[in-house]
Amino acid sequence: MEYETIVTSRDGLAGEVARLGASGARLIMTVGTDVRPLGGGFEVTHLFGFDRAGKVVGVVVPVPADDPTFPAVTPQLPPAGWMEREVYDMIGVTPEGHPDLRRLIVADDWPDDVFPLRKDVPHNYRPPRAENARSALKPTPEGTTVVPVGPFFPTLEEPAYFRLFVEGEEVVDCDYRGFYSHRGVEKLAEQLRYDQIPFLAERICGICGYVHSTCFSQAVEQAAGIEVPRRGRYIRTIMLELERIHSHLLWLGLAAHIVGFDTGFMQAWRVREPVMWAAEALTGNRKTYGMNLPGGVRRDLRPEGIHQVQDVLKAVERESQSLMRALERDTALRSRLRNTGVLTHEKAVLWGAVGPTARASGVDIDVRRDYPYAAYDELPVNVALRQEGDIWARLEVRVEETLESVRLIREALANLPGGPTFVEPGEVPEGRVSVVLVEAPRGELCNYLMTGAEGKPYRWRVRVPTYMNLQLTPQMVNPGTTIADFPIIAASIDPCFSCTERMEIVRRPREGRHEP
């Protein structure tokens, strides 16, 4: 992947953004960085992707420490809404002209003058509560009633708070408040070495952790100019696709459960379980594999594990196809999911949808093809696309991707090269910037890394797919949407709040008292 940097002034930012947009680029991520210890002020970096060219452009805006403001690009680019709110919450740089500068990450009673990702704020600092809390909730539209979904709700495995604005039974709009479990994984990583962080990164997500350790490891490798051995790249691909299979099957089961089709739930999870056993046979763990380090993978594949995976793939392929036929024959299920939660192609592009959510609306993007990594340059990916943009289309995309993952793993095993799986990375130069994209099961994952001294990152920023797709949930609330429709609409993007909020850390003192 090619990465290019453009430095512009605050006055020139709007023009640069307009120029990139006219060139076909899409906004991937916004990063705020405190560079005062390096002799500067602050930096705001907007990352744009040229997907077909496999290129990312970073637009860097220097911001003086005595005037920490920059012009918001949210009016031009709606996906920047959360990102610019996060820059304010965590760095204390204000996006002037932002249409909705409510708090996003920090709590309502967080002090106004404490910005956690500034370098002069210790990672374990616990500020006093502010006396005057600032509500982060959207005002209730006139003539509507609020129906709360969360923070704890039967179909949500993690704390999240949706407020549905309803007129009778019809949902006319909704609002989201999350980050109840945010514990500052990026801040914590500044205290760790590069070879420690993959194990932290893998715990960002409770389901798809391997993509996170892969993405971070590749960011270090890119910054240091490390070439991972070919066998190591193939093993990464195999593990990434195994993870995609079990993640999609988990979603399929949960989606069936939410709409009351528990036969589908039990069958999907029955098919999924041998995949977890195969992962354990390859790595020693069902989910948190502990395989990645900058430089490659820590363990080679054993022949008995490979044979088990090959047997499991046969069963997954056969039974996934059988399960899909059963779903298609269920007229009640199809009527419930078709034409529900429709996300049009135009809205998917405007709001920066990623992953199966985008591809089900006809947005032809996939990092594995557009920005090849691991062994995907040698294992071409067939991208699953649908045009309808409804929940049924998202289901079909995920089932097709599951079968495509089976094919990719078979090809990777059949062409698995010999040789080493790991190369010692050596010293990582200070002051390098790298940007890496990986296609997680839920969509595009992005890591931004600025290397620091003593073998530790100066700034690490993680942007997960759910972070993008959650923002466009209101766009799926179409006219006629009822309260009963909303749980499966929200679930159809396969939300991971743990990923979005970037981890939870709990320390247990001897007294038994829990502290973050």
Q: What is the 3-state secondary structure (H, E, C) of 61-116?
A: EEECCCCCEEECCCCCCCCHHHHHHHHHHHHCCEEECCCCCCCCCCCCCCCCCCCC
Give the H or E element holding residue 135.
Answer: none
State the pLDDT at residue 155.
64
Reduced to 3 states (helix: H, G, I; strand: E, B; else coil), residue 347 is helix
Structural contact between residues 337 and 392, judged by C-beta atoms closer than 8 angstroms: yes
The amino acid occupying position 50 is F
363: closest CA among 380, 381, 346, 375? 346
State the pLDDT at residue 184.
81
Query: Starting at the edge strand that comes first in sequence, how are the strands of the sheet with 457-463 ordered?
Result: 433-440, 443-451, 457-463
Strand partners, 162: 149, 176
State the pLDDT at residue 330.
87
472: closest CA among 355, 338, 339? 355
356: closest CA among 282, 440, 416? 440
Reduced to 3 states (helix: H, G, I; strand: E, B; else coil), residue 346 is helix
Structural contact between residues 91 and 117, judged by C-beta atoms closer than 8 angstroms: yes
State the pLDDT at residue 400.
96
Distances (CA, A) of 125 to 40, 112, 117, 299: 24, 15, 11, 38
The amino acid occupying position 465 is P
Sign of the torsion formed by the C-alpha atoms of 95, 33, 437 and 155: negative
Distances (CA, A) of 234 to 219, 222, 425: 18, 18, 18
495: closest CA among 20, 95, 162? 162
What is the distance between the alpha carbons of residues 86 and 105, in angstroms, rounded to a whole number?
7
State the pLDDT at residue 419.
96
Give the H or E element holding residue 285.
Answer: none
Strands 26-34 and 42-50, bridge-based pairing: antiparallel
Domains of the chain plus CATH, in order, are: 2-136 (3.30.460.80), 185-466+494-501 (1.10.645.10)
State the pLDDT at residue 46.
98
185: closest CA among 194, 197, 169? 197
Residues of the chain with pLDDT under 70: 154-156, 503-516
The amino acid occupying position 434 is S
What is the distance between the alpha carbons of residues 26 and 358, in angstroms, rounded to a whole number?
13
3-state helix, strand, coil in the chain (%, to 5): 40, 20, 45
What is the distance between the alpha carbons of residues 466 and 485, in angstroms, rounded to a whole number?
20
The amino acid occupying position 221 is E
